[in-house]
Amino acid sequence: MAFIDAAQLDKKRVLIRLDLNVPLQDGLIQDDSRIREALPTIKHVLKMNGIPILCSHLGKPKGERNQGLSLQPVAKRLSQLLEREIKMAPDCIGSEVKDLVNRLEPGEVLLLENLRFHSGETKNDKEFSRQLAELGDVFVNDAFGVVHRKHASVVGVVDYAPASYGGFLLKKETEYLRKALLNPDRPFVLIAGGAKVSTKLGVLSNLADKVDRVIVGGAMANTFLKAQGFGTGLSLVEPELQDDALQIMNRTKKNKVSFYFPVDFVTGRDVKASQPSGIHPYQDIPAQDMMLDIGPASHTLFAEALKDAKTVIWNGPMGAFENPVFSQGSFGMAETVAGVQGTTIIGGGDTDSLVHKSGVHESISFISTGGGSFLEFMEGKELPGLKVLGI
């Protein structure tokens, strides 16, 4: 496995692919955690007398220049965190950028403009990959959030770079996740929430015979209940996946894996309701209601299932937590997971946001920076960005 700590970086131009895709509102960064996660690798390059040339995407400009998705605010925040000037390139490839790179000295940092201003990035275009690679003597990928993408800055650039490595964040992500999958401390509990079974089907299928307990919450629990013949009112259900839900439950039963789903729900007339319409056991959901959060009995049940856990992987909230009316189950789960005396791993943007909003993020062992990449890793899929680096 080739990571940056094994690389010779003295006076080398080091092209670093980062995930600086931060949420912006009116040009202001709403959450800088992805920028902070990038700092160890950048600081290491500077310490080793290398020249960091940073690249990232931001949003979905779809191959066109969009000033609202410029990385300029990121450059400003990076300069504050690194306490040094961050030079901002006008583009990510081209003669002007090459001239800027050639004038850089050790100790200086350059941030390239949004990679996705060029369609060649998402198309993994060979010429775009070549032009990007020639900006550095060494390529480092430290963007776990995009390693499931066959993009130029993730895969194509490796074909042209003189040497390629994984960064410290990539190392941390893969070590934590591999340990959980291959050699977990037990009991090992998977918590799967969120809206759809379809997005978690691969994870549930891959881990069904690896974990000791499965807790299912959020709207995806509705499909499991519907598959067992219970009424779900007007709740979100994926009827085409009812057979898959039953197969997963049968697999866990066969493997002696304990399977937990909510036993009561906070219901409402719609997701934006200003107050709940009631709390009902799963057998008695009113026909005109939606199940929008787990109820207090479910919280007690899930807390009991987590009490002696030694490894916990959690992806997906327990309900429509964006609405404070239906957020108690998700925030309660965050507090319960934070209190687990073992390794706790959080994955996915909504779950990441949830634990930060609940104020318990510092009590979580590891919060993955990946959304789709985290899920695909948990599914046991081969991720292109890791494969090309031999990681």
Q: Which residue in 12, 13, 17, 34 is the catalytic one?
A: 34
CA neighbor of 55 nearest in space, from 159, 162, 128, 148? 128
Q: Which residue in 59, 63, 202, 372 is the catalytic one?
A: 372
> What is the DSSP pairing of strand 51-55 with strand 213-216?
unpaired
What are the DSSP E strand ranges found in the chain?
13-17, 24-25, 28-29, 51-55, 86-88, 109-111, 138-141, 164-166, 188-192, 213-216, 258-260, 264-268, 278-281, 290-294, 311-315, 343-346, 366-367
Q: Give burial (CB, 10 Å; 0-12/13-18/19+) of 96.
A: exposed
Distance, CA of 132 to CA of 148 (rounded, Å): 19
> What is the DSSP pairing of strand 290-294 with strand 188-192?
unpaired
Distance, CA of 149 to CA of 386 (rounded, Å): 10
Whether residue 187 has a cis bond before it, omega within 30° of 0: yes
Q: Which residue in 196, 210, 251, 357 is the catalytic one?
A: 196
Please report, as a single letter, which amino acid is at residue 360: V
- What tokens does 245 get? 């839900």
User: Is 342:169 a contact under the CB 8 Å cutoff?
Assistant: no
Distance, CA of 114 to CA of 57 (rounded, Å): 5
**Phi, psi angle pair for 177, to nearest 5°:** -70, -40
Q: Which residue in 269, 310, 349, 357 is the catalytic one?
A: 349
Distance, CA of 77 to CA of 376 (rounded, Å): 31
Would you call 34 a catalytic residue per the annotation? yes
Partners of residue 146 on adjacent β-strands = none
Active-site positions read 34, 196, 349, 372
